[in-house]
Chain A
Amino acid sequence: MTTAAHSGATRTLVSPVRLAQPRGRLLYRLTLALVLLVTTVAFVGPLYWMATGGFKSSQELVRTPPTLFPTHPATHAFTEAWSRLGMGGLLLNTVVYAGGALLFQLLFDVAAAYALSKLRPVLGNVILGMMLASMMIPAAALVIPQYLTVLDLPLVHWNLQDTPWVIWLPTVANAFNIFLLKRFFDSIPNELLDAAAIDGAGPLRVLWSVVLPLSRPILGVVSIFGVVAVWKDFLWPLITVPSHETLNVGVNTAATSMPENSLIAGLFLASIPTIALFLVFQRNIMAGLTAGGLKG
């Protein structure tokens, strides 16, 4: 049975011959069982505790020894968490921030990468170099001047604080996105674009009907990274959108003033969207992570 399963795969650390022997097979099964047990406890355990914690009373939560199942499952902690946290509002804010950020990133970063890869304007390489150099800058070190800049945008003097723009626009300045996109566009043969151009298509048309349809995998990767980054960010939304908080920040703000079981119910509710997203798009996300983040 084992031999059939791995006959097609390349050899790894342990030789297949060793695994086929009775002793090897036993050892393999034992390790597998142990690892499955440990990882499940370590990674699903806390999530299980969080999911069931909301159904317990605050007294039951602190009981020793802890209960595996809620003794008197009740749902009022969830409703309380929803209203105390203003979960609907937090969720809406975060979706608006993440969605807008995604849109702006796709619009501007794709256009920029296309220009740098295919249209090649003068100074294009200098601009690309300066963008890539910004990858070396630790984001947190620039938070102060960035904050002061969005309070009073140079020349136009707009105050972006507490508007979605303050989340949306800085996400566009993402050198890694441009790098990934440009590298992908570079791999699209110029002949293809030239053929479209001879047929009378302008650069925008070429981008839209030749380049983009070929670039779906990389667009997927960039989109996932874009949404997840906004969803997980903490320091920037903490200081720039204090009255329209993200889920991440809002949960923390409310944490100290809530009864324990409703806070845990709140944590669970806050985790559902991304976990669900991940479980649904699991295959694409995994493939995108390893393909997009690595090669080259």
Chain B
Amino acid sequence: MAVTLTRGPARVDATGAGPHDRLAALRRSLVRNLRAHAFLIGALLCFVLFTWYPMIREIVMSFQRVHYGETQWVGLANYRQITADPEFWSAWRNTLEFTGIALFFGFAAPFVAAIVINEFRHAQGYLRVLVYLPVMLPPVAGILLFKYFMDPGYGLFNQILHAVHLPTSSWLASRSTAMPSLVLASTWGNMGSATLVYLAALQGIPGELYEAAELDGANLLQRIWHVTVPQTRLILSLMLMLQVVATMQMFTESFVLTGGGPEGSTTTVVYLLYNYAFNYDKFNTAAALGVIMLLVLGCFSALYLWLERRGREE
């Protein structure tokens, strides 16, 4: 941390003055602290109300149930109920499937895009703007657009596939292709921000490294693998964690495009949580699911923080 400059009161103390002065110093320090906390109070209250208190409340709630307006402690009953629901396991499977595919594409696509864009001496600005454009859409607009593209009948995608004599797909309408289709829509809408982050990282790689690698006879792919990847490793690992945590919370795409179907194949964990609370009216069971989510994603986040710290020490 930065060196703290001790101001005002400490200097008075150092002169070794009498008890009267010490009292004045104490009062001054008190005033200084009160003032500082006055600056802090607005944000602090919001954190207490909307983050810290809800977090405790969620844990407490998950061990309780409301019976005819009366709150009772029920031990692990909510956890037993949620884990006994077959939808619980399928929701985790679906979420992991989305995360897996989204990482495969959503992680690779922006990195490749950034590497390619970074090579160009022309049109870099144009390409950046282009890739970032969908990020600025209201997500629902971008997502609904894909509903039309992915229509099995008249949808643009199938028409294009048909025109080039490739097999068409049923996209959102079938169990097996629904999730990958959601990934496609989501990647299109979100890859812009990751691309810009990678571009910034790529621009920090010293050119001599590439030169040296080339002198050693490394070809293009080898240069990417031995120079580009290690040089951006920290950013890559951080973005990986951020993306895992973000994609594990996927809700909007399913809610807007598939309603969790077909046959529950796109019901994610957050979607299930939403259903329990707002469709089945079981807030306490939803809270138990929330706690489970906190634990699972907390592990991922802890890993992220650990990586960040390790990276900063290097």
Chain A positions near chain B (C-beta within 8 angstroms): 2, 5-6, 9-15, 19, 31-32, 35-36, 39-40, 42-44, 46-47, 49-50, 53, 61-66, 104, 107-109, 111-112, 114-116, 119-122, 124-125, 127, 130-131, 134-150, 153-154, 169-170, 172-173, 178, 186, 190, 194, 203, 207, 228, 231-232, 234-235, 239, 247-249, 251-252, 255, 260, 263-264, 267-268, 270-271, 274-275, 277-279, 282, 286, 289-290, 293-294
Contacting residues, chain A, for B249 (C-beta < 8 A): 138-141
Chain B positions near chain A (C-beta within 8 angstroms): 1-2, 4-5, 7, 32-33, 35-37, 39-40, 42-44, 46-47, 49-55, 57-58, 61, 115-123, 126-134, 136-142, 144-146, 148-149, 153-154, 156, 159, 163, 188, 193, 196-197, 199-203, 205-208, 210-211, 214, 220, 223-224, 228, 235, 245, 248-249, 251-252, 255-256, 270, 273-274, 277-278, 283, 286-287, 290-291, 293-294, 297-298, 301-302, 304-305
Q: Please, could you name 17 A-B residue pairs with CB atoms under 8 Å apart, sorted by A?
A: A12-B207, A13-B118, A36-B123, A61-B154, A111-B39, A120-B4, A122-B33, A138-B249, A141-B273, A142-B290, A178-B43, A239-B278, A248-B139, A248-B141, A275-B137, A290-B196, A294-B197
Q: Establish whether residues B141 and A136, one from each chain, have CB atoms under 8 Å apart when the complex forms.
A: no
Within the assembled complex, what's the spacing in Å between the Cα atoms of A57 and B51? Answer: 48
- In the assembled complex, the CB of A151 is this many whole angstroms from the nearest CB of chain B, namely 11
Within the assembled complex, what's the spacing in Å between the Cα atoms of A260 and B252? Answer: 21
- In the assembled complex, the CB of A91 is this many whole angstroms from the nearest CB of chain B, namely 11
Nearest A residue to B301 by beta-carbon distance?
A136
Within the assembled complex, what's the spacing in Å between the Cα atoms of A109 and B42? Answer: 8
Contacting residues, chain B, for A131 (C-beta < 8 A): 43, 47
Contacting residues, chain A, for B47 (C-beta < 8 A): 130-131, 134, 172-173
Contacting residues, chain A, for B278 (C-beta < 8 A): 239
Contacting residues, chain B, for A39 (C-beta < 8 A): 127, 130-131
Q: Establish whether residues A115 and B40, one from each chain, have CB atoms under 8 Å apart when the complex forms.
A: yes
- In the assembled complex, the CB of A123 is this many whole angstroms from the nearest CB of chain B, namely 9
- In the assembled complex, the CB of A128 is this many whole angstroms from the nearest CB of chain B, namely 10
Contacting residues, chain B, for A293 (C-beta < 8 A): 197
Q: Establish whether residues A169 and B49, one from each chain, have CB atoms under 8 Å apart when the complex forms.
A: yes
CB < 8 Å: which of A11, A248, A275 contacts B133?
A275
Contacting residues, chain A, for B199 (C-beta < 8 A): 290
Q: Establish whether residues B130 and A44, one from each chain, have CB atoms under 8 Å apart when the complex forms.
A: yes
- In the assembled complex, the CB of B28 is this many whole angstroms from the nearest CB of chain A, namely 13
Nearest B residue to A141 by beta-carbon distance?
B293
